Amino acid sequence: MTEKKPPEEKAVPSKEYYEKVRIKSREALLKTIPSILLYVITAVLVTLFGRLVFLPIAGGIYWYEYPLPEILNFIILVTLLALVARILVDVRRAVDAIAGIAACEIGAPYDVSPEEVGHYKTAFRGIVYVIVVSLAFLLFAEHLTNISPGLSAVALIAIVVWAIYQIWSAVRAVSKEINRYASEWAKKVR
């Protein structure tokens, strides 16, 4: 016969853990925000100059029998992809920092564990990524359509499927925390 073991209690992180998470999160946030702004401004300027200056100038010009506007659209698209990739790296760092701060501030009375910080990060990251990628698609859509209308449609379908998955993951992460807070609250009410 096996003996029943008492339920294991979670080890509560020390106050130093919370302070360390807060400090690291604030430092990361202060490093990433200027970088994000710089790359967003660069992406917007590349888009504006491409659409309003370079593409109208290139209309009707061919380079070795290739229409120059299609070549310029491709160059602008590749540039925007590189900029958005860099933005996403910094957004991930910023979201992780915000999630760390939120986990410590919101969950302080409940002794937030590293697992819970991970849940907050997953939720924040998923929602912010959907917003950022949707905005990035607005930058890409016209250039993709100018290269091939089907390319724009395929990209949008892929983004919608990916966004649904991200939203589902974010809701699952938050639901775990809501269930935990509800069960702790129910124990206090008894």
3-state secondary structure 21-63: HHHHHHHHHHHHHHHHHHHHHHHHHHHHHHHHHHHHHHCCCEE
On the question of pLDDT at 6 being above 60, the answer is no
Q: Where are the domains of the chain?
A: 15-180
Residue pLDDT, tens place only, 63-109: 888 889 989 999 999 999 999 999 989 988 998 888 778 777 766 66
pLDDT tens-digit series, residues 45-62: 999 999 999 999 998 889
82 versus 173: which is more confidently predicted?
82
| 63: β partners | 66
Q: Can you give the length of the chain in residues? A: 190
Q: How far apart are CA 187 and CA 190, in angstroms?
A: 5
pLDDT at 111 exceeding the cut of 70: no
Residue 13 has pLDDT above 90, yes or no: no
- Whole-model pTM above 0.85? no
* Portion of the chain with pLDDT greater than 70, in percent: 88
Q: Residue 180: which pLDDT band, with cuts at 50, 70 and 90?
A: confident
66: which DSSP letter? Answer: E
Q: Are 18 and 110 in contact (CB under 8 A)?
A: no
Share of the chain above pLDDT 90, in %: 37
Q: What are phi and psi of 62, to 5 degrees?
A: -115, 145
Whether 184 and 110 have beta carbons less than 8 Å apart is answered as: yes
Query: Is the pLDDT confidence value at 2 over 60?
Result: no
47-51's contacts with Cβ under 8 Å and 24+ in sequence apart are: 47/76, 47/80, 47/139, 50/76, 50/143, 51/142
Q: Where are the beta strands (DSSP E) in the chain?
A: 62-63, 66-67
